[in-house]
Amino acid sequence: MTNPPQSHTTPESSPSRRRVAITGIGCVTPIGTGVEALWQGLRAERSAVVPATRFDASIYRSQCAAQIDDFDATKWIDAKRVKRLDRFSEFAVVSSILALEDGNLDLANEDRDRVGAMMGTALGGVGYAEEQAARFLHGGLRAVDATLALAVFGGSASCNMAIEFGVSGPNSTNAMSCASGSMAIGEAFRQIRDGYADVMLAGGSEAPLATLCFGAFALIRAMSTRNDDPARASRPFDKHRDGFVMGEGGAVLLLEEWSHAEARGARIYAELSGYGTTNDAHHMTAPRPDGAQAARCMRNALRDASVGVEQIDYINAHGSSTPLNDPTETMAIKQVFGDHAYRVPVSSTKGYYGHALGASGAFEAAISALTISRGWIPPTLNLETPDDGCDLDYVPQHGRELSPKVVLSNSFGFGGINAALVLKKPTA
C-alpha cells in the first residue's frame, strides 16, 4: 500500500477536522439549468409541474410530472461522448461541468488524485434500460444499444464524472432512494473533512420519467392524482395533498477544503459543517410513525456541526407532499427543536419541481446554500390549508427576506433512510 503524498494533511496526522466550503453549484432542474436560472426559478414562485408528455401517462391514475423538455447535453459535452451516456449520466456530467464553471476551478491546476466524485440516485439508468428492453422485444439483441450494460448501473454517474475530468480520488454512487443525493454530499464532506480529498464533486441525478418507472410508483399509489390542476398537485404539508409528483434532473456541489478555497480566492456560498444519517428499520414505504429515527438523524447532524437547535435559522424540509411523510417530519422537527420549532421558518421546495427522487436532496442542498448566500428563503408553494399536526411556520406561497446563518436540510427516503445536512454562513 502506498503512502499518501506528504504535501497533504492525512486522516492519521490531522490534529482537527478540516473545514469544507461549498464553492460551486451546478444543476439541471425543471425550474432552470445553472445556478442563476435555478435562483430565478425560485424567485418566480411558480410550479414547473405539467401533464406528463414524455410517455403515455393516460393509462395511470397519476398523469402529471416535472419535466425538463429543453435539455440538450451536446451544449456541454462532445456529441460522440453523449452517445455513450444515458439521460441520467448526462444530468450528472453536465451538472458537474456547471459546478466547476460556477466555482471557477481549473482542474488542470489540481492534484487529481485528491479530487473525487460522489453521487446519489434512486433508480440510476433503469429508465434507459426500460427503453432498451422495448427495443429488444421488437428487434432482438441487435436493436439494443451496445452501451446498455455500462449505462444502467448507478455507479455510471460518478464514474463518468471521473472520466470526464480525469479525477482519480474517492468515487462512489449510492442508491439510497430519496435520501441518496444528500448522503452523497454528506459522504463527500467526510472525505474532505477527514483528509482523504481536497476537492469533491457531489450531488444526485435522476431520470425516472419512463413508462414502467413512473408506473411502479403509480402502482403503489404514492403519486398525486390532481391531474386537472398539475401546477397545484405538489402541495407539501397541505391538508389536501394526495401524493408526490415525479420529477427529474441533477445537481452537483463543488466542495473544497477551506484553506484550499481561500488560497485560490474562491467565492464561498456556505460552509458544509454537519451530516447525519439513520434508518427507521420499520417499513419499506412508510416512515416510522413516531419519527424517532428522523429526529435522531437531525440531532446527529447538529452535533456533527457543533450547532445547537436555537442556532438554526431555516429548515429546508423533505416535505414530499405525501400523506404520511409530512406530518411525520413535522413531528420529528418538534422532537428535536422543542419550542424553537414554532419560531424557525420551515419550507419544502418540492412544490416547484416535484420530487426528483435521488436528485431532490442535491437540489435542496444547493437551494440551502443559496438562501445563505443571497438572503431569501423560498416558500412552500400550494400550501393553502395546513394539515392537522402540520402547524409550523412553513412560509406558505411567498418567499421571505431572511439571511440565515445556519440551515438544516432534510431528506427521507423509501426503506426508512434518513439524511440531514447542516450548512453555515461563511466566516473567517
Q: Is residue 144 pLDDT above 70, yes or no?
A: yes
Residue in 27, 159, 178, 213 annotated catalytic: 178
pLDDT the model gives residue 5? 39
- The reported pTM is 0.95
Neighbour tally for 46: CB within 10 Å: 13
Q: What average pLDDT does this structure show over 327-345?
A: 98
Q: Is residue 175 pLDDT above 70, yes or no?
A: yes
- How far is the C-alpha of 313 from the C-alpha of 299, rounded, in Å? 15
- How far is the C-alpha of 201 from the C-alpha of 119, rounded, in Å? 8
Q: What average pLDDT does this structure show over 76-102?
A: 96
The domain locations on the chain are 20-263, 275-424
3-state secondary structure of 160: helix
Q: What average pLDDT does this structure show over 214-237?
A: 97
64 is catalytic: no
Neighbour tally for 397: CB within 10 Å: 13
pLDDT digits (tens, 9 = 90+) for 230-264: 999 999 999 999 999 999 999 999 999 999 999 99
The pLDDT confidence band at residue 389, using thresholds 50, 70 and 90, is confident
Q: What average pLDDT does this structure show over 156-164?
A: 97
Q: Tell me the pairing of strands 400-401 and 32-33.
A: unpaired
To the nearest whole number, what is the mean pLDDT of the chain?
95
CA distances from 196 to 171, 207, 247, 254, 271 (A): 11, 31, 34, 16, 18
Percent of the chain with pLDDT over 90: 94
Q: What average pLDDT does this structure show over 164-193?
A: 98
20-263 and 275-424 agree in CATH topology: yes
Residue count (the chain): 428
Residue 410, C-alpha cell as written in the block: 432534510
Q: Tell me the pairing of strands 249-257 and 20-29.
A: antiparallel
Q: Rounded to the nearest 5 degrees, what angle is found at the Cα of 427, between the Cα atoms of 29 and 370?
A: 15
pLDDT digits (tens, 9 = 90+) for 7-19: 344 344 344 899 9
pLDDT the model gives residue 76? 98
Q: What average pLDDT does this structure show over 143-163?
A: 93
396: which strand partners?
Answer: 380
Q: Rounded to the nearest 5 degrees, what angle is found at the Cα of 149, between the Cα atoms of 120 and 168?
A: 50
Give domain 275-424's CATH architecture. 3-Layer(aba) Sandwich (3.40)
Provide the CATH number for the domain formed by 20-263 in this structure. 3.40.47.10
Closest CA to 314 of 241, 412, 248, 380: 380
Q: Dihedral, CA atoms, 251, 257, 258, 261, nearest 10 degrees?
A: -70
- How far is the C-alpha of 292 from the C-alpha of 418, rounded, in Å? 11
- How far is the C-alpha of 188 from the C-alpha of 183, rounded, in Å? 8
In our burial notation (b when 16+ CB lie closer than 10 A, e otherwise), range 287-320 reads bbeebebbbbbbbbbbebbebebebbbbbbbbbb
Q: Is residue 428 pLDDT above 90, yes or no?
A: no
